[in-house]
Amino acid sequence: DYDTAQSNPKLIVGYSDITALHCALYQRAGWTALHGPMVAVDWPEIGTETEEIFWSVASGNILAPLPSPGGHQLVSFRSGQAEGPLIGGNLSTLVRLLGTPYFPDLNGAILFLEDVGEAPYRLDAMFAQLHLAGVLDKLSGLVLGAFTECEPPPDRPSLTFNRILDDYFGDAQYPVATDLLYGHIPVKSAIPFGIRAKLETNENQATLSMLESVVT
């Protein structure tokens, strides 16, 4: 019941398959959300810095730049500046929403992505699907997190993740950053979903900043 949800917003926290819930509730009810540590998986062994960042974002603070545990820094892939809604999550889950009423409006968005256990040829196919659907051309920026266990097999020729990035984003007309500390990894940042944000990249550094609170 998205009409009821629209008048009773909640902050849903999670990542991976939770991306589907975040996207549906954002698109149909206007909910913001928080990509971050899940109670069942991460909280029993959560680190102090991860927890502090999570509670700071979840409490409504606007963090600029958005910090990462251990002072981890983004890496610039394509230089530029962008502002727009910060939307994303798990790549394979997001691609499965294409063509449904729950795929978010990414026009002018800063898209953030992560995934796990996907062979390079599958990642290539998913980026190709987003490209052919016209999604990648609509973005104002892109931030890539951890792509865990996505290495090519050692015993056969394969695309590499860096080659895939070059193929799809080497000539991007918007800023692209990598190494976001987010995804299927034990130490992760808390990434707000659905708020306006700013991505700034140059030859030396990249920063992602919140422009709004995730708490409505």
Contact status, residue 161 vs residue 123, Cβ threshold 8 Å: yes
DSSP state of 120: H
For 93, residues 6+ apart whose C-beta sits below 8 A from its C-beta are 16, 17, 19, 20
Instruction: Identify the H or E element spanning 113.
Output: strand 110-116
Name the catalytic one among 114, 118, 140, 189. Answer: 114
Dist. CA 128–CA 123, nearest whole Å? 8
- CA dihedral 15→17→20→21, nearest 10 degrees, is -60
* Residue 92 among the catalytic residues: no
35 is catalytic: no
Q: Is 114 a catalytic residue?
A: yes
Q: Of 16, 68, 92, 140, which one is the catalytic site residue?
A: 16
Q: Which of 68, 76, 92, 184 is an active site residue?
A: 184
Q: β-strands 196-201, 206-210: how paired?
A: antiparallel
- Hey, which residues are catalytic here? 16, 114, 184
